[in-house]
Structures are given as C-alpha cells and as structure tokens.
Amino acid sequence: MASFMLFLAQADAPAGVGGLMGNPMVFIGLMFAMFYFMIIRPQNRKEKARKTLISELKTGARVIFGGGLMGTVTNVKDDTFVIKIADNVKVEVLRDSVSRVLEKGEKVGEDKRS
C-alpha cells in the first residue's frame, strides 16, 4: 500500500490542472494590479487635486488646516501662508498643512460631499 501511495505522489498532474492561476507570479501580478487600481491611483488623484487647490489659493480665501485651525489667508508666500485667525491675530503656517478650502458662504460644519 505504501508503494502505491509513493507511486501516486510521483505521478504527473493531469493536463489543465492549475491553469493560469496555478502560476504564483500571475497571481501576485493580479493582486498588485488590483491594489494599484483600488488604493494607489485614487489616492494619487486626490493628492494631485489638493495640491492644485493649494497652489491656486489667493488672499481672502477661507481655509481649514490639519489641526482644526480655521482662518482667512492674508498673505501668500513661497512655502507659507499668513492666516488671520482672529482680530489682530495672524499666524504663519506651511502650505502643506491646508486640508480644506471653504467656499464662499459655506459654514464650517457643512459637508460638501452630501
């Protein structure tokens, strides 16, 4: 009986078994393609749109920053914005910290996506 099991273990697989998905490299390639189209590509598009929005900011725009700080742009510099957050209070912040630009008349609690 043991010799028969050894014979079956050494036998070639029937033709057609395994197919395309039997090759591990094809499977890894398909997984990477799915990962790219579902995660990486949409995130790159979103980041590109945010960078474009930041580069087009001008004086007078209302913005919200990553830490929750909200204010009005009073001066645009190369790498920073000067933001007025209250009367006689101005803060200089990095351009990359802008998370959202408020439209004219938009309230802070409103969600534009709905």
Model confidence over 32-45: pLDDT tens digits?
999 999 999 999 99
Residue 90's domain comprises 58-102
Q: pLDDT digit string (tens) for 48-75?
A: 998 898 888 899 999 998 888 899 999 9
Q: Are residues 35 and 70 in the same domain?
A: no
Q: Which residues contact 92 (CB under 8 A, 6 or more apart)?
A: 77, 80, 81, 82, 83
Tell me the whole-structure pTM to 2 decimals: 0.58
Number of structural domains found in the chain:
2
85 lies in a domain?
Answer: yes
1 lies in a domain?
Answer: no
Residue 114's pLDDT band, with cuts at 50, 70 and 90, is very low
Q: Are residues 51 and 73 in the same domain?
A: no
Q: Are residues 97 and 62 in the same domain?
A: yes
Query: Residue 14 corresponds to which tokens in the numbers above?
Result: 């029937």
CATH number at residue 68: 2.30.30
